[in-house]
Amino acid sequence: MKIIMLGAPGAGKGTQAKMIAERYQIPHVSTGDIFRANIKNGTELGKQAKEYMDKGLLVPDELTVKILLDRVAQPDCKNGYVLDGFPRTIPQAEVLDEALTKLNESIDYAVNVEVPDENIVKRMSGRRACLKCGATYHIEHIPPKQEGICDTCGSELVLRDDDKPETVQNRLKVYHEQTQPLIDFYTGKGVLKTVDGTQPMEKVFEDITSILG
């Protein structure tokens, strides 16, 4: 089962992707995680990706496509995968489509987690991250036991640059310009399914699993 998660940054698609991966025993392939690992390890790809991510811009297609196709060719993806954060543009979707067609494969579902922009700005500006161990929190929904301190390793929590309101607004603008057309693309392929992302996390997941079966 090959699934693509669609939705604006902060819509909760990453959380849902992890839950889907666990339920259906398939890998959760997040371009964000791949980029962050490269940034942390100081690779050339990571340095290039960081320049774009820090400005709230999308990483160019050629950087993204190369790393993604390598990942889904790994043996653990033979029974399927959940793509989170890719494709973000029509050219990326077309490249993915061509690559899968050559393998006699195709995307089974494109799940769109729909959340209004104003909800997203509020949601993301409340996020806090531990740069040391990678744990994430939310000041309202998942607060740490001690304000500003990571429960797991005791390091200081920060508001990441890409979660600041002005960066979020920019990311949403980029999303609507470049990623929104994917909804039409996958509707045309007959695989798009939309769920209401403003509901509690468990209810969103329930709606998704009723679609996936």
Do the beta carbons of residue 46 and residue 40 sit within 8 Å?
yes
pLDDT band, residue 116 (cuts 50/70/90): very high
Active site residue 13: yes
Provide the β-strand partners of residue 157: 130
| Domains, the chain, ordered by start | 2-115+173-212 (3.40.50.300)
Q: What are phi and psi of 129, to 5 degrees?
A: -125, 145
Active site residue 128: no
pTM of the model: 0.76
Do the beta carbons of residue 32 and residue 68 sit within 8 Å?
no
Express each pLDDT in 51-82 by its tens digit: 888 888 878 887 887 778 777 888 999 999 99
How far apart, in whole angstroms, are the C-alpha atoms of residue 155 and residue 85?
A: 28
Q: What percent of the chain has pLDDT over 90?
A: 55
The single residue of 2, 13, 71, 123 carrying the catalytic annotation is: 13
The single residue of 2, 71, 128, 171 carrying the catalytic annotation is: 171
The mean pLDDT value of the chain amounts to 90
* Whole-number pLDDT of residue 208: 98
How far apart, in whole angstroms, are the C-alpha atoms of residue 210 and residue 38?
A: 35
